[in-house]
């Protein structure tokens, strides 16, 4: 019985990985492609590792599969956050300005990178209120 469950989980994970690859190929820009590619990180790998735990039926293998699933679930949001921030800095919201015609956006502006904690020069100096 556990072999049937493991086989169905492997087929389900293969379906998710193929659909994520099609999304990576067909979607229009970097952020929507990231939306597609995170499916293979969570759903496909989860299904495959769960199938592995079912197919072996061993406590040792089950513990290692749980560790791998936990590690994937912890690291996926961090990696997605960093890629998304970098993609936003590279694209510079150019497609959003083009699609939705933001009023303050002009076509000659060069895209500015997002300010982050390592780059104090990107923050406006006047933003800090005077003390006292």
Query: Which residues make up the interface to other proteins (CB under 8 A)?
Result: 1, 3-4, 6-8, 10-11, 13-15, 17-18, 20-22, 24-25, 30, 33-34, 37, 40-41, 44-45, 48-49, 51-52, 55-56, 58, 60-61, 64-65, 67-68, 71-72, 75, 78-79, 82-83, 85-87, 89-91, 110-113, 116, 119, 121-122
**Alpha carbon distance, N-terminus to C-terminus of the chain:** 73
CB nearer other proteins, residue 68 or residue 93? 68
- What is the per-residue burial (b if ≥16 Cβ within 10 Å, else e) of 113-132? eeeeeeeeeeeeeeeeeeee
Sequence-ordered list of residues with C-beta below 8 angstroms from that of 41, at least 6 positions apart, any chain: 72, 76
Q: How far is the CB of 96 from other proteins (least distance, A)?
A: 15
CB nearer other proteins, residue 79 or residue 102? 79
Enter the tokens of residue 39.
């499916």
Enter the tokens of residue 80.
């997605």
Contact indicator for 87, 21 with CB cutoff of 8 Å: no
CB nearer other proteins, residue 104 or residue 110? 110
CB nearer other proteins, residue 102 or residue 122? 122
Distance from C-alpha of 114 to C-alpha of 90, rounded to nearest angstrom: 10
Q: How far is the CB of 88 from other proteins (least distance, A)?
A: 9
Q: How far is the CB of 103 from other proteins (least distance, A)?
A: 23
């Amino acid at each position: 019985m556990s072999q049937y469950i493991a086989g169905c989980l492997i087929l389900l994970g293969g379906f998710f990985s193929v659909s994520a690859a099609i999304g990576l190929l067909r979607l229009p820009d970097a952020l929507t492609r990231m939306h597609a590619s995170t499916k293979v990180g969570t759903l496909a790998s989860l299904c495959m590792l769960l199938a592995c735990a079912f197919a072996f039926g061993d406590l040792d293998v089950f513990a290692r599969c749980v560790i791998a699933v936990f590690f994937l679930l912890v690291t996926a949001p961090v990696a997605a956050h960093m890629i998304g921030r970098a993609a936003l800095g590279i694209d510079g919201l150019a497609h959003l300005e083009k699609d939705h015609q933001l009023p303050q956006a002009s076509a000659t502006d060069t895209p500015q990178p997002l300010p982050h904690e390592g780059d104090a020069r990107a923050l406006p100096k006047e933003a800090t209120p005077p003390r006292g």
